[in-house]
Amino acid sequence: MEEDKKHQLDADAAQLQQLGYAQQLLRDMGGFSNFAVSFSIISILTGAVTLYGHGLRFGGPFVMAAGWPLVAVMTLTVAASLAQLASSFPTAGALYHWAAMLGGPRVGFFTAWFNTIGQFAITAGIDFGLAEFLADMLGWPRERGYVLPLYAAILLSHAVLNHVGVRAVALLNNVSAWYHVAGVAVVIGALVAFAPRQDLGFLLTRVSTESSLYTYGFLIGLLQAQWTFTGYDASAHVSEETLDPTRNAPWGIFLSVAVSAVVGYALLVGVTLAIGDLPATLAAPNPFLHVLRESLGPALGGALVWITIGAMWFCGLSSVTSNSRMLFAFARDGGLPASTYLSRVSPRFRSPHVAIWVSVAAAFVVAIWSGAYAAMVALSTLALYASYALPVLVGLLARRNGAWSHRGPWDLGRFSLPVNVVALGWCGVVMVLFVLPPNELAGYTFAGALALLTVYWLAFQRHTFVGPKVRLLAPAPVQASSAK
């Protein structure tokens, strides 16, 4: 078995060398660990829970019943489109690397920055949401003077673990995946066993306290589901730490979305059917907490919220892992200020330690800047889906003109064109939908960032940034191994 693993490690290192990079990071993740990173960042016990009140107030129970599956199906087309790219080009740069190899340095530059901004914002959204839940459970007010110290402490814990414990983080990601599944099962089981339930027709209730036009409210309420389905590109960002990445990374991307879609829907239906007094729930500061406490009692309901808080902590840990790998890979190619420092790897811990600390510092700044929680999650969703769309677009064009002829073992074949087109269309919908009121700040921030990046590109990087070491090539055949 050890011989098989060594054989696979050698093959993976040779493949990475063909893509222009030496093996620097510790490659110790199996297929499940790779899946667990993305599954933990999607974290149905984070996105679906922290934004439960948002979805409920904008679209009522109907946004849970119809909005979640709509977003899940459309997101699967994006995940599948990214998965086939990950199978062909398994590097830590992921989206940025694919865009640059297939579309040139300029496309790669903007893809990398969109992804970086989105990842800063998603880490902020995850950990700030966790800090707010902690404040609620501790009986503290949700004022920033109380929430920000909690938020800083959570970020610190994630930075330290990612810096010193690469193997520990991989193990915790495995634990996180099972923790999420078990946590959802416990919550649903408790609701089924002990909570009074509405009939299924309650799920069709349409109500919006935030918009006089229900259709508009429903669409804005989709942010709950769409923000949950972000960050699954993490499986690609840890490709250089994954065994047999041409198979394991794409499956990690796709399955993390598929499994989250099914398990998350069961959670949302269970919680929504446990709502006793809908107007009181809509008026509650934390509707999710209100439902559990009212339907199960303060003791059991509170215990389940603490289980949810644990899942949020795991989610933030995985987010910092993914964010730091993106920074490291982009800096390795000279795309960032102070790239020499950001691309450093700790000789002792084999982790991109500088990138880790910059990631958490930037996430803290995002929380200070945005102020409102919804603005953080809207910004992360907007920026990440912009970074997803660009490599899918240039990949589609490269296939059609023959520039990308060699595919990895995970490929959509003749379904590539329709799946890619639907994915691009959905990315466009997302990028328009979540800059509309009340998310204007996310739109203004993204537009400002785009303007600054354009100036930065034209003034400094246009003539110096060349992108990945290798522009476009057919990777060496990956030798199959029984080690998984």
If you write DSSP's letter for every residue of 128-172 in order, what string do you get? Answer: HHHHHHHHHHHT----HHHHHHHHHHHHHHHHHHHHH-HHHHHHH
Q: What is the mean pLDDT of residues 163-189?
A: 85
Q: Quick check: 458 pLDDT over 50?
A: yes
The predicted structure's pLDDT at residue 386: 95
Count other Cβ atoms within 10 Å, centred on residue 451: 10
Chain-centre distance for alpha carbon 219: 21
User: Higher-confidence residue: 26 or 215?
Assistant: 215
Torsion angle of the four alpha carbons 111, 131, 273, 296, in this order, in degrees rounded to the nearest 10: 160
**Spatial distance between the Cα atoms of 271 and 283, rounded to a whole number of angstroms:** 16
The predicted structure's pLDDT at residue 362: 93
Q: Quick check: 181 pLDDT over 50?
A: yes
**Spatial distance between the Cα atoms of 195 and 199, rounded to a whole number of angstroms:** 13
**Nearest one of 20, 11, 325, 342 to 170, comparing CA atoms:** 325
The predicted structure's pLDDT at residue 390: 96
Q: What is the mean pLDDT of residues 254-264?
A: 95
The predicted structure's pLDDT at residue 336: 85
Chain-centre distance for alpha carbon 140: 29
- The pLDDT confidence band at residue 474, using thresholds 50, 70 and 90, is very low
User: What mean pLDDT, rounded, does the chain reach?
Assistant: 88
CA angle at 232 for the pair 175 and 221, rounded to the nearest 5°: 105
User: Higher-confidence residue: 9 or 292?
Assistant: 292
- The pLDDT confidence band at residue 421, using thresholds 50, 70 and 90, is very high
Name the 3-class secondary structure at 458.
Answer: helix
Q: Residues near 137 by Cβ (< 8 Å), separated by ≥ 6?
A: 289, 302, 305, 306, 309
Q: Quick check: 419 pLDDT over 50?
A: yes
Tokens 């996430």: give the residue: 363
Task: Confirm if 209 and 286 have CB atoms less than 8 A apart.
Answer: no
Q: Which residues of 311-324 are buried (b: 16+ CB within 10 A; e: fewer)?
A: bbbbbbbbbbbbbb
Q: Quick check: 91 pLDDT over 90?
A: no
**Spatial distance between the Cα atoms of 27 and 187, rounded to a whole number of angstroms:** 35
Q: Quick check: 464 pLDDT over 90?
A: no
Max Cα distance, the chain (Å): 65
How do residues 288-332 score in pLDDT, each as one tens digit? 999 999 999 999 999 999 999 999 999 999 889 888 888 888 888
**Spatial distance between the Cα atoms of 147 and 195, rounded to a whole number of angstroms:** 31
At 305, list the tokens: 């919220």
**Nearest one of 336, 446, 439, 444 to 386, comparing CA atoms:** 446
**Spatial distance between the Cα atoms of 235 and 39, rounded to a whole number of angstroms:** 9
Helix (H) / strand (E) element for 252: namely: helix 245-273
User: Higher-confidence residue: 174 or 413?
Assistant: 413
**Spatial distance between the Cα atoms of 361 and 148, rounded to a whole number of angstroms:** 13
The predicted structure's pLDDT at residue 286: 92
Tell me the sheet residues that pair with 470: none
Count other Cβ atoms within 10 Å, centred on residue 398: 18
480 DSSP 8-state letter = P
Q: Quick check: 484 pLDDT over 70?
A: no
**Spatial distance between the Cα atoms of 422 and 376, rounded to a whole number of angstroms:** 26
**Spatial distance between the Cα atoms of 180 and 176, rounded to a whole number of angstroms:** 6
